[in-house]
């Protein structure tokens, strides 16, 4: 079967071709990884993300994945199925993509997957069944190829775990849940193959992919009150250092990748594993630059030193707030500001670019908390700050608080409102988004690169430092 996999994304204004290559951008990981599995099973697959759309349209800006989807369907003509990866920030674009596919050819099967549908499940399909034929819930490693094979061979869907669909009678059917992959499966090259990026190479000088994302774990061992990663991914699982190093070697040899972004929630959680990976990269002398996120309670000077030796360039921390009281309310960490500053000084002393994420508008936040955040961030002097309002993700402790207060319902997550944050910061009626804007302006004046992040699933632009 011929399949198109689309990473739903914002319409993006990007720089000229020269700046695109000067500041390495990366293909989307999830859809390319799933495409690799489908290709290994004999299917023909095209991946459309912002990166590919920019390349295939000869660096045309703005990038419009919605138009790109229809353009590819018209060009290829024989695509029978389109899978759309949906995050909550990009849900409106995903709906527009599905709507236009069905208007173009109602016979094309449309599959929704990703975090947004995994959280909402039947509620999503009940509302949008005119645009989506199937939903893949949870990890798609096994579910998607089984579904595509069944559609290709016109066989029964009843034995496929992890899907929701509308049957011939118009009734919504939900199969048994799909078990998450075990650590043994995550380390099995047949179950979890290397990600295939060959479709991009013909557009790039010497076939070099400038940067790629890499996820070496599934889930997060922590349970921050605002984060739905534990519900989305289930148990924390990790690949072995040997498996990780084998994939990096493949990326370097096959695509000459110069920049690897570890997108794990907390890459340095397991210190011994982290050091083995970094030491392996150093020994191989691949000359790659590295990016990672971690927590302040999951790093020390041993890791920082090994990271620099391996080519580490950027480290991002979720500071969230300068108020320890507020961080404790978020179940984030109990580390004192003095220790946070010490860790940041160590990172900066090693010449690593330091980035911080901040959250504003969390319940209980006061003007004093906001001032503490501003003062702490100013003292740290990071290279980059990303400011976000505290989005209410379903079934998190923050969601249950909002639901109890009567200001948020699960149905609100299905609405098309761009602003899905219900809180005001204080009696002054200042919204969290306005505070974020204020901070980005002030940090920019301090010559700290400040970004108001509306989406996390960016495939283009400076998603790294």
Convert the pLDDT of each residue in 365-374 to its tens digit.
888 999 999 9
Measured over the CA atoms of residue 281, residue 287, residue 288 and residue 292, the dihedral's sign is positive
- The bridge status of strand 163-166 relative to strand 172-174 is antiparallel
Identify the top-confidence range among 174-178, 395-399, 404-408: 174-178
Across the range 381-399, mean pLDDT stands at 89
Query: Could you tell me which residues come within 8 angstroms of residue 32 by beta carbon, excluding any fewer than 6 positions away?
Result: 47, 49, 195, 196, 197
Residue 170, pLDDT score: 87
**CA 376, 377, 380: angle at the middle one, nearest 5?**
90
User: In DSSP terms, which residues pair with 387 in a beta bridge?
Assistant: 358, 452
Across the range 169-185, mean pLDDT stands at 94
8 A C-beta contact, residue 309 and residue 334: no
CATH superfamily of the domain spanning 184-452: tm_1862 like domain (3.80.30.20)
Across the range 347-361, mean pLDDT stands at 95
Task: Specify the CATH number for 2-174; select among 3.30.70.20, 1.20.58.100, 3.40.140.10, 3.40.50.280.
Answer: 3.40.50.280
Residue 201, pLDDT score: 96
Alpha-carbon dihedral angle through residues 362, 363, 367, 369, given to the nearest 10 degrees: -60
- Omega within 30 of 0 (cis) for the link into 419: no
Domains 2-174 and 184-452 share a fold: no
**Banded model confidence at residue 206, pLDDT cuts 50, 70, 90:** very high
pLDDT at 169 over 90: no
pLDDT at 132 over 90: yes
Q: What percent of the chain has pLDDT over 70?
A: 93
Identify the top-confidence range among 22-26, 61-65, 260-264, 420-424: 260-264
Residue 455 CB coordination number (10 Å): 13
pLDDT at 388 over 90: no
Q: Global pTM?
A: 0.93
| Nearest-angstrom CA–CA distance, 324 and 319 | 10
b/e string for 392-413 if b means 16 or more Cβ within 10 A? bbbebebbebbbeeeebeeebb
The pLDDT tens digits of the residues spanning 228-282 come to: 888 888 899 999 999 999 999 999 999 999 999 999 999 999 999 999 999 999 9
Break the chain into its structural domains and give their ranges.
Answer: 2-174, 184-452
**Banded model confidence at residue 464, pLDDT cuts 50, 70, 90:** very low
pLDDT at 424 over 60: no
**Banded model confidence at residue 426, pLDDT cuts 50, 70, 90:** low
The pLDDT tens digits of the residues spanning 281-329 come to: 999 999 999 999 999 999 999 999 999 999 999 999 999 999 999 999 9
Q: Is 396 helix (H, G, I), strand (E, B) or coil?
A: coil
């Amino acid at each position: 079967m011929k399949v198109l996999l689309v990473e739903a994304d914002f319409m993006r204004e990007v720089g000229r071709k020269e700046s695109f290559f000067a500041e390495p951008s990366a293909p989307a990981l999830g859809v390319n990884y799933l495409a690799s599995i489908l290709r290994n099973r004999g299917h023909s697959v095209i991946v459309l993300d912002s990166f590919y759309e920019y390349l295939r349209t000869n660096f045309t800006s703005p990038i419009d994945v919605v138009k790109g989807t229809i353009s590819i369907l018209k060009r290829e003509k024989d695509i029978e199925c389109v899978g759309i990866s949906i995050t909550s920030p990009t849900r409106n674009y995903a709906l527009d993509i599905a709507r236009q596919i069905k208007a173009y050819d109602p016979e094309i099967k449309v599959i929704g997957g990703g975090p947004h549908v995994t959280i909402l499940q039947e509620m999503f399909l009940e509302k949008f069944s005119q645009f989506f034929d199937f939903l893949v819930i949870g990890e798609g490693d096994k579910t998607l190829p089984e579904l595509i094979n069944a559609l290709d061979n016109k066989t029964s869907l009843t034995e496929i775990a992890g899907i929701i669909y509308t049957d011939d009678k118009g009734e919504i059917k939900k199969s048994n849940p799909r078990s998450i992959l075990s650590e043994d499966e995550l380390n099995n090259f047949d179950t979890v193959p290397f990600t295939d990026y060959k479709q991009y190479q013909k557009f790039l000088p010497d076939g070099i992919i400038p940067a790629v994302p890499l996820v070496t774990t599934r889930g997060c061992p922590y349970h921050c009150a605002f984060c739905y990663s534990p519900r989305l991914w289930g148990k924390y699982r990790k690949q072995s250092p040997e498996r990780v190093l084998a994939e990096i070697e493949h990326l370097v040899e096959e695509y000459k990748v110069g920049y690897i972004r570890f997108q794990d929630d907390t890459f340095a959680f397991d210190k011994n594993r982290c050091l083995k990976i970094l030491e392996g990269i150093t020994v191989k002398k691949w000359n790659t630059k590295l990016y990672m996120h971690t927590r302040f309670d999951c790093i020390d000077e041993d890791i920082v030193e090994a990271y620099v030796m391996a080519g580490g360039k950027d480290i991002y921390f979720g500071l969230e707030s300068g108020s320890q009281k507020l961080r404790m309310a978020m179940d984030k960490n109990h580390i004192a500001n003095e220790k946070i500053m010490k860790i940041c000084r160590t990172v900066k002393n090693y010449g690593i670019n330091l980035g911080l994420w901040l959250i504003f508008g969390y319940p209980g936040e006061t003007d004093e908390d906001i001032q503490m955040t501003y003062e702490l961030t100013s003292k740290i002097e990071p290279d980059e700050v990303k400011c976000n309002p505290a989005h209410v993700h379903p079934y998190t402790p923050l969601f249950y608080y909002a639901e109890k207060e009567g200001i948020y319902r699960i149905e609100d997550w299905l609405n098309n409102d761009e602003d899905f944050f219900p809180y005001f910061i204080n009696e002054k009626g200042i919204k969290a988004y306005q505070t974020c804007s204020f901070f980005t302006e002030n940090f920019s004046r301090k010559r700290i690169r400040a970004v108001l992040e509306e989406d996390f699933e960016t495939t283009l632009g400076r998603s790294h430092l």
